[in-house]
Amino acid sequence: MAGSEEEPRYSRQLYVLGGGARRLPGSAVLVSGLRGTGAQVATALVLAGTGRVVLHDCGTACTADRTQQFLLEESDLGQNRAKASQRALAELNPRVVVEAHTGELSEAFLASFQVVVLTESPLEEQLRVGDFCHARGICFIVADAKGLAGQLFCDFGEHFVVDDPAEGDPAAAVEHISQGNPGVVTYMGTENSHGHLFHDGDLVTFSGVQGMTELNGQEPVPVHVLDAFRLEISDTSSFSPYRCGGLVSQVQQPQQCSHKPLCQALEEPKIQVASPEDLPRSCSLHAAFQALHAFRREQGRLPRPRAPADAKRVLELARSLGAQQAPLDEDIVRAFATASAGDLCPVAAVVGALAAQEVLKAITGKFVPLDQWLYFDALECLALAGAAQLTEADCAPRGSRYDGQIAVFGANFQEKLGHQKYLVVGAGAIGCELLKNFAMMGLAVGPDGELIVTDMDTVAFSNLHRQFLYRSADISEPKSVVAAAAVQRMNPDVRVTPHQNQVGPATEMLYKDNFFRNLDGVASALDTIEARAYLERRCLRCRTPLLDSGTEGTRGNVLAMVPSLTEPLGPASAPRDGAFPMCTLRHFPRTIQHTLQWARDEFEGLFQLPAEQVNQFMEDPAFLEQQLPGKIVEQVWESLRERPQDWRDCVRWARRRWQRCYHDAIAQLLHIYPPEHETSPGVPFWAGDRSCPHPLTFNPENDTHLDYVLAAAHLFAQVHRVPPCSDRAAIQAILRDVVLPPFAPQEGLQIPLTEEPTEETQVPTDHRQRTELTQDLVEWRQELLGDEDTQAPLMEPIHFEKDNDVHIDFITAASNLRAENYGISPANWLMSKRIAGRIVPAIITTTAAVAGLACLEVYKLVWGCQELSCYRNSNISLSACLLLRVQPPPASTYRYGGREWSCWDRLELRAVGADGQAMTVQEVLDWLQRTHGWTVTMLLCGDTVLYDSKAEAETRARQQARRLSESLEDARMLQQQDLELLYMCEGEDAEAEDSRPPLLCSLP
């Protein structure tokens, strides 16, 4: 059952933060500094459900703040930033208390907080507050973004305990355990496991082991890893022989962290980096930020953009800091100082998201905190061709909301941003953050700019904890429409257009090749591999830049696909969607994933398919004639025979179903294959990956048994439009009166042992029996159609919804009962929902960081950068506070027709003949011969053969004479204005690769 009424809102986040998330409502956090970084931190904390968030800022909102402060509106200018932000944040989550504080940060005021976050604070204030927090055991965080660089510092005290250090709970299905000293465990990975699940020294427990039952419930034991699928454990030589089944699970051990106060950490910095090669750069940035504080103390301002004298002074101050962990990279310090007066929304998004995740670690005890410094920069943006020539005048303030961006990239670039035409595909978590950033950046604000956002989904309650643009009042409204309206409130000048379409084969008439060619870029915020792959193919074909972003829990990535420069994204691995072998699900489950998928199949087979079949039978008089002899007719007959008259009938039906699934089916299986059955002499049948089950005995006092009956009866009642009842005591009373016949084994039933989706072999239904069934159905149909009280449609099919509690109640109970049959450890309600609903864990911090990283690549695309070295692919892991940014792989090349081609090359032909009509196939062949010297032997469009040189002469002549449009009539491809043709040429090697430049033909 659901743990609280708020779980539907936070369920995706709970999968990331675990049980520690329940500490959030009782926590209090101070966020000081409400410009871009502070706004991002505060927004993430409010959406995450932090109990009390206090905003502190003594400054007033000005026009330039709106470069990155997305909470401010035009009417807020001149007002205190904290108070203006408080009004906007209070709308995000009614369960969070959001307050504004405009006074000083006194010790008495600070003492009431569990976590204090400083942004935009001078070093002196950081040191004062940091010393106080360290002495009082208050977690202290500094988050600062300056231009193209960011700084993050954490001090959680000298004895901070991390209750749950790792992401996820590694577990694996046991295949064998040896008797020995040490014992060797052979296992196989479960859902989402990759590579080594365990490490030397990990503590593990065992459950559900048959045979060597001494391991079940034993205290955690340490392991030694032999390889990816074998572990050594303690002495098992005296234990019973292993038979089958079992789960080995890692036990997370609390971990203690010790941090130095800021005053010491400045002088003796511990800087976290993704790789040792990054340490010198981070050390130089550590010095650069300190030098910037010194410059501000000295000059009373930040360095002027592109002012060589100011950059020189910052470098002198950095040199004066004394010994560094690594030699000072003076180019980095100069570049940092040159842009340090800038304010960029993407940089604030990344730094703010990282800081917010550290706050959540401090509150929940989930994940190891940063130890202790982290530096981030995108200074490669200053290496863009022509950027070095920008002058102080180019980057001087204009009194514009974009002054913070102009300070980095210049006024001409800002104008260019306004002319962009971009498509955002998906308005979910990442899409919302992308749109927010685009509004702040001023993308598509010019007269010929356009920002199109498309999403066919509607706003759901579970979206609200991480999809910033939506409010409770927007539930059930189209996401794209609501998101577009929110973007225009942030920046009324953005020319944003909402679409409610899927971008896929079904909408190619709407999103033609010319549509993609006219775009300056596409930002993908999709959540399925298939959809992302389709979008990548379209962008590759049309040579349109694509930025692909994705997240799972605290991990995220951004991939840049730039025409002519980078390798296309390529095919992703297929998702693990629960497509388990049928006989495993039906008879030999080994893991909770198997039983949950079985429960999903049960749901569909009980509450969706029968209702659809009955409705079709009632609506179509020819339904019975169209069915082959077999299960469908029998299922319709069974569904109508079992129609309930009242709620009591529904409860009785659920009780019979329980008996059939958890007692009779198991007893039948054991009748065919008894526990002592042998595959061959001396080889037990129930061994290895087959766990011997046992039947369950129904007990109305057992909560799981009653949960199943209640959920199944409720759903059965909904299907038949019978009013349900949730009184557990009344249901127990009905159940005590239910008497079921004793189990009688069925003879002649064979159960398949192969991993093939075959049906059990049964005695076929004879002709007489089918005739009787058909006669019954015809009579029932006539009676029902003649009854004035009969509703149409007769039954209500129920489609599984992962956010419907009753659906998850059924799945959880059905799965856990089957798990009990087979000795598999059960899953709680929330975990069952995640696995059965195939929910990807999600949290606002990761999506905000990923969107910020993607928008940094947009700057480069808008600039028109043609240097591969300037682009970055990014991978983040906020649980480990790691950020890895690397140059994308270059575009691959191949040889064809005697020359080298890039994977981006294509042959483009305006396939219009001299008469203005579509070219004939012969004209296309002539063009390829004339232009490239290639003699084509076969020409195809999809699966349609347009020309085959090996065909008979008459067929070839007919093929050559036909126009492209005529040739495609049978293939129903006439609606496509742009065709991609495949060709094979004379002289190609039999073993030649499939790579050849595609031929794109534009029809009139």
Q: Which residues are designated catalytic?
A: 583
Measured over the CA atoms of residue 725, residue 729, residue 734 and residue 739, the dihedral's sign is positive
CA triple 744-747-750, angle to 5 deg: 120
* Side chain identity, residue 756: E
Are 949 and 922 spatial neighbours (Cβ–Cβ below 8 Å)? Answer: no
Contacts of 59 (CB under 8 A, 6+ apart): 80, 81
Q: Which of 312, 310, 309, 303 is nearest to 331 (CA)?
A: 312
Task: Calculate the dihedral angle through the C-alpha atoms of 768, 773, 774, 778, rounding to the nearest 10 degrees.
Answer: 140
Q: Which of 48, 41, 8 is nearest to 25 (CA)?
A: 48
Find the DSSP H helices in 232-344: 262-267, 279-299, 308-319, 330-339
User: Looking up tokens 């643009």, which residue turns up?
Assistant: 469
- The rounded distance, in Å, linking the Cα atoms of 451 and 427 is 13
Report phi then psi at 400, rounded to 5. -105, 160
- The rounded distance, in Å, linking the Cα atoms of 501 and 674 is 55
Task: State the DSSP H helix or E strand holding residue 669, giving kind and residue range, or none if neither.
Answer: helix 665-672
Task: State the DSSP H helix or E strand holding residue 772, giving kind and residue range, or none if neither.
Answer: helix 767-786
For 209, other C-beta atoms within 10 Å of its C-beta total 26
Rg (CA), the chain: 33
Burial 698-729 (b: 16+ CB within 10 A, else e): bebeeebbbbbbbbbbbbbbbbbebeebeeee
- The rounded distance, in Å, linking the Cα atoms of 971 and 399 is 59
Q: Which of 656, 660, 793, 665 is nearest to 713 (CA)?
A: 656
- The rounded distance, in Å, linking the Cα atoms of 438 and 520 is 14
Of the CA atoms within 13 Å of residue 935, those in its CB half-sphere come to 4
Long-range CB contacts (within 8 A, 24+) of 622-631: 624/774, 624/777, 624/778, 629/764, 629/765, 629/770, 630/765
- The rounded distance, in Å, linking the Cα atoms of 526 and 453 is 12
CA triple 44-45-49, angle to 5 deg: 115
Residue 137, beta-bridge partner list: none
Residue 652, beta-bridge partner list: none
For 610, other C-beta atoms within 10 Å of its C-beta total 21
Taking CA atoms, 367 is separated from 30, 65, 161, 596, in Å, by 21, 33, 10, 28
Task: State the DSSP H helix or E strand holding residue 47, giving kind and residue range, or none if neither.
Answer: helix 36-48
Are 664 and 658 spatial neighbours (Cβ–Cβ below 8 Å)? Answer: no
Find the DSSP H helices in 837-986: 844-863, 921-932, 953-961, 964-967
Burial 162-172 (b: 16+ CB within 10 A, else e): bbbbbbbebbb
